[in-house]
Chain A
Amino acid sequence: MALLEVNDIHTYYGNIHALKGISFEVDSGEIIALIGANGAGKTTTLRTISGLMEPRDGAVRYDGEDISSTRADLLVSKGISMVPEGRGVFAKLTVEENLDMGAYTRRDKGIKDDLDRVFELFPRLEERKKQFAGTMSGGEQQMLAIARALMSSPRLLLLDEPSMGLAPVLVDGVFDTVQRIKNEGVTILLVEQNAHMALQIADRGYVLQSGEVALSDTAANLQQNETVQKTYLGID
């Protein structure tokens, strides 16, 4: 059974019909890439899954349970964690305090271990523990946002354009990290404009277009697909 099952969801902003019946599945242990042009509805899809928005129609099933109208804060403790678009680190808190906030829903003993694990993944953050998050570089802030999301010890990690605004060198690093997180057993739903990189690490991918799924296939096949190459990979 799929870990996440999105079934024909329709989401609106007021009268604007942003998602017009989107369906896809994410199996445990996979990296799934959602690619698409600006305004295709990628962020809206993530917001709907994470509970920040409610679909007017259709259902989101997580671990077999319908979570379409479950509040966002409750989903965090169920194991769905999101790194929002544009990072959203708490600028006025230190790195360490940001990570603490990530573990907000938890009361178990494992927090300390997870902190060590996260620092192992991002040694840079350990060096900068006491620094205000707002004063860190864009790349460091992105690492922090991901690390913070990991602190809730998620089963499903939703990443919204983690490579946005980063230099090409750093982009490699971010995708590398995503791969390593997957290897630790976290399932990942990755939204990206950088289709090239996303498809390289993903198992399967979905192409969104104006609120609908235009294509779906394995990442390897998508990379070979002519339309995808033309539209999203910039290959003629």
Chain B
Amino acid sequence: MDLSGSQTRQTIITLGLLSGALILFTGAVGMIAAFHEREIVRDFITLGQLVLLITPFIFGYTAANRLGMTGEAPIVVLGGGIIIGLLTALPTTIMLLFNSDEFRFLLDWALRLAPFVLATAIAWRLYRQNVETLTVIGSWLLVAVLLGIVTFSLALIFEVKGELRSVLVNINRDWVEVVTFDHRKDLMRGIFIFSLASVAAGFLGSLCYYVPRTPRRALFYGLSVTLLVGAFGETVRLVLQENLERDTLNQLFRRDTLRGNAALGLLVVSTVIGYLWAAFGDRARQGFQNLGGQQRQTTGMIGTVLFVALLLMLPWLIGRTLSDVAVTIGLFVLMGLGLNIAIGLAGLLDLGYVTNYAVGAYILAVMTSIGPLGLMKGTFSFWMVIPIALLAAMFAGFIFAVPVLRMRGDYLAIATLGFGEIIGKLAISDWLKPLIGGAQGVQAIPKPIFLGTELKNPEQLYYIVLVACLITLFVSIRLNNSRTGRQWMAIREDEDVATAMGIDTARAKLLAFTLSAATGGVAGAIFAAKVGSVFPNSFTVFISINVLSLIIVGGIASNPGIVVGAVVLIGLPELLREFSDFRFLLYGALLIMMMINRPQGLIPTKIVTHEIRAGVKAKAAAGD
């Protein structure tokens, strides 16, 4: 077989097995069964089934892209899709067989044979590479014995426990029910349907490669919209509830699930919109670019006004539950914008940002609480304490910055990480207990009062966060384009050269840390007022990590990126609460995928895009 042929084979097998492993893994951790609980389209497909189908589809499409690029014939490309579908089903099918009563013996066999088969395969390879006979025999023995110990003990465990489930907790009835498409009783039929569906998905995926670009994009867009609306049916319903009649709503949804007709309609409409966008979107953008400066400014202004209007009306549009999510997102946007001053603008990797959040929260708690720990017993209102919290956080930022001014890069990150931990420990310590309540925290924090109304609903608190975000956004844009911003940029690039330009780097860094801390303090204070109590366990390193991640996912130093990053990383997990066990798994997977496929972030700044492209080019050049 020629080289290209073997490469094709390798691509297909690798992607197929990867896809299969993914499905088996998601099943084994219990994700598929949990996702099955959420129906996407009523009586048609659930989120669990979607995972089973979308995986071979995506891998089929990816493989088709790679094969098509190397100029393989359609028959090979489409065949590849089918094989990927089969390979996707393979590991899960084997697991199904192992799990069934009739085919249990297969597992025992497999476990007993595996060490010998593998050892022989490895020895054969070595033999082919003309390794000494003695070494070959030695490695055969080594592999067989080592692996044997593992598999034989596994076999023993299974024999004693009797069931696979006792070891792999999530390979259970529910899982079988989902992957056999509700044919648990008739296993063979279930496996057949599952494999067929998987093959069809893989085939369709590879077929998509031959669909012209515009309709393909339209279709992908339509499908994603429909599936997302279905998957987040509960949320969408909450939004629509605010604006639609009950009867209309019931025609679209049954409880939280999209009805079949509604889904079909949505698919058609969103595909058409997607088509229009794919066909004319570029031209529209081009047209905008070609507008004269005056017109462009006007269009931009109209856009901004519409956007702000939308933000102002948001609580009415989305209702209480989602307003609560919006407030949380807003708090993280606030912190993201703040931390971005240190990380994005000045290049100071600060991993202790939670410090500022905690300082703000505790200052507000202690100064306004009407409980036993309140210092002022109601003399200070929320509005008076916000500036104090801001200044206190800035002061904390300043104090913590002084000792680390001379540190760079990794060392700075570790030191700030330490500070974050110190704050957590201080908050829970006995030493400060009389002041801030130790593990019991501070309670009875009154809600803000504005013109005589108590702002106790998320819809009302939303406006406080919104205003804070807008002010911060304004300041941070101004900062970025100022002399100070240029100072930070120079320090980020090269501290020594920055000094040679006449920049006082120590002062600039102190300023960056101090300003960066400010919004953290405000966010903490608002958080404390929103929750009504403050506990030390709200201030863990995860806050710092979250804020850092949203900056990176959104696009470092990019203000719109930070907003999008917060929506994705903070908002989505809030909406996925019922899958709480898997939230962090998904979160991690998303981060890894992002860093591989889009390291510049979702909405990167021009400079970063350029830098990454240059990096890729340099790498390619070095590889030659």
Contact of A104 among B494, B503, B611 (CB under 8 A): B503
Q: Which of A11-19, A82-90, A111-119 contacts B (4 or more CB under 8 A)?
A: A82-90
Distance to closest chain B CB from A185 (angstroms):
20
Interface membership of B490, Cβ < 8 A: yes
B37 contacts which chain A residues (CB < 8 A)? none
Distance to closest chain A CB from B341 (angstroms):
18
Interface membership of B502, Cβ < 8 A: yes
Check if B502 sits within 8 Å of A90, measured CB to CB.
no
- The 0/1 profile, CB within 8 Å of A marked 1, for residues 479-521 of chain B is 0000100110110011011011111110000000000000000
Check if A152 sits within 8 Å of B501, measured CB to CB.
yes
Check if B503 sits within 8 Å of A90, measured CB to CB.
no
Contact of A84 among B489, B497, B504, B505 (CB under 8 A): B497
Check if B500 sits within 8 Å of A76, measured CB to CB.
yes
- The 0/1 profile, CB within 8 Å of B marked 1, for residues 60-94 of chain A is 00000000000111111100011010001011110
A71 contacts which chain B residues (CB < 8 A)? 504
Check if A90 sits within 8 Å of B505, measured CB to CB.
no
B502 contacts which chain A residues (CB < 8 A)? 72-77, 104-105, 152
Distance to closest chain B CB from A72 (angstroms):
5
From 454 to 500 in chain B, residues with beta carbon under 8 angstroms from any chain A beta carbon are 483, 486-487, 489-490, 493-494, 496-497, 499-500
Interface membership of A135, Cβ < 8 A: yes
B499 contacts which chain A residues (CB < 8 A)? 52, 72-73
User: Could you tell me the dominant secondary structure of chain B's interface residues?
Assistant: helix
Contact of B489 among A74, A81, A93 (CB under 8 A): A93
Contacts A102-B501, A104-B503 known; A88 to B496 CB distance under 8 Å?
Answer: yes
Distance to closest chain A CB from B505 (angstroms):
7
Check if A92 sits within 8 Å of B493, measured CB to CB.
yes
Complex: A103 Cα to B535 Cα, angstroms: 50
Interface membership of B610, Cβ < 8 A: yes
Check if A73 sits within 8 Å of B503, measured CB to CB.
yes
Interface membership of B614, Cβ < 8 A: yes
B483 contacts which chain A residues (CB < 8 A)? 104
Distance to closest chain A CB from B150 (angstroms):
51
Complex: A81 Cα to B501 Cα, angstroms: 8
Interface membership of B607, Cβ < 8 A: yes
Complex: A75 Cα to B500 Cα, angstroms: 9
Contact of A90 among B487, B489, B496, B614 (CB under 8 A): B489
Check if A104 sits within 8 Å of B496, measured CB to CB.
no
Check if A92 sits within 8 Å of B503, measured CB to CB.
no
Complex: A71 Cα to B490 Cα, angstroms: 17
Check if A88 sits within 8 Å of B494, measured CB to CB.
yes
Closest to B500 in A: A82
Complex: A90 Cα to B483 Cα, angstroms: 16
Closest to A51 in B: B499
Closest to A88 in B: B497
Complex: A100 Cα to B614 Cα, angstroms: 23
From 247 to 273 in chain B, residues with beta carbon under 8 angstroms from any chain A beta carbon are none
Check if A92 sits within 8 Å of B611, measured CB to CB.
yes
A92 contacts which chain B residues (CB < 8 A)? 493, 607, 610-611
Check if B501 sits within 8 Å of A101, measured CB to CB.
yes
B500 contacts which chain A residues (CB < 8 A)? 50, 52, 72, 76, 81-82, 84, 88, 149
Contact of B493 among A72, A90, A100 (CB under 8 A): A90
Distance to closest chain B CB from A90 (angstroms):
5
Contacts A92-B607, A92-B611, A135-B614 known; A76 to B496 CB distance under 8 Å?
Answer: no
Contacts A100-B486, A101-B486, A104-B486 known; A90 to B497 CB distance under 8 Å?
Answer: yes
Distance to closest chain B CB from A135 (angstroms):
7
Contacts A71-B504, A101-B490 known; A84 to B496 CB distance under 8 Å?
Answer: yes
Distance to closest chain B CB from A159 (angstroms):
12
Closest to B605 in A: A92
From 597 to 624 in chain B, residues with beta carbon under 8 angstroms from any chain A beta carbon are 607, 610-611, 614
Closest to A91 in B: B493
Complex: A11 Cα to B486 Cα, angstroms: 32
B487 contacts which chain A residues (CB < 8 A)? 104
Interface membership of A134, Cβ < 8 A: yes
Interface membership of A132, Cβ < 8 A: yes
Distance to closest chain B CB from A89 (angstroms):
8
Closest to A75 in B: B502
Complex: A73 Cα to B486 Cα, angstroms: 15
A134 contacts which chain B residues (CB < 8 A)? 611, 614
Closest to A106 in B: B502
Complex: A93 Cα to B487 Cα, angstroms: 13
A91 contacts which chain B residues (CB < 8 A)? 493
From 6 to 54 in chain A, residues with beta carbon under 8 angstroms from any chain B beta carbon are 50, 52
Complex: A196 Cα to B530 Cα, angstroms: 73
Most central of A75, A104, A152 by chain B CB within 10 Å: A104
Distance to closest chain A CB from B278 (angstroms):
32
Complex: A84 Cα to B498 Cα, angstroms: 11
A100 contacts which chain B residues (CB < 8 A)? 486
Complex: A44 Cα to B166 Cα, angstroms: 69
Complex: A30 Cα to B504 Cα, angstroms: 29
A84 contacts which chain B residues (CB < 8 A)? 496-497, 500
Distance to closest chain A CB from B510 (angstroms):
14
B503 contacts which chain A residues (CB < 8 A)? 73, 104
Check if A90 sits within 8 Å of B607, measured CB to CB.
no
Distance to closest chain A CB from B176 (angstroms):
55
A132 contacts which chain B residues (CB < 8 A)? 610, 614
B614 contacts which chain A residues (CB < 8 A)? 132, 134-135
Complex: A152 Cα to B614 Cα, angstroms: 30
Check if B497 sits within 8 Å of A76, measured CB to CB.
no
Contacts A76-B501, A104-B486 known; A90 to B611 CB distance under 8 Å?
Answer: no
Distance to closest chain A CB from B252 (angstroms):
49
B494 contacts which chain A residues (CB < 8 A)? 88, 90
> Can you list 17 A-B pairs with a CB-CB distance of less than 8 A?
A52-B496, A72-B499, A73-B501, A73-B502, A73-B503, A76-B501, A76-B502, A77-B502, A91-B493, A92-B607, A92-B610, A93-B493, A104-B486, A104-B501, A148-B501, A152-B501, A152-B502
Q: Rank and list the top 3 A-B pairs by shortest CB-CB distance, nearest first.
A: A76-B502, A105-B502, A88-B497
- Given A72-B499, A81-B500, A88-B500, 16 more A-B residue pairs with CB atoms under 8 Å apart are A52-B499, A52-B500, A71-B504, A73-B503, A73-B504, A74-B504, A90-B493, A92-B611, A93-B493, A101-B501, A104-B483, A104-B490, A104-B503, A105-B502, A148-B501, A149-B500
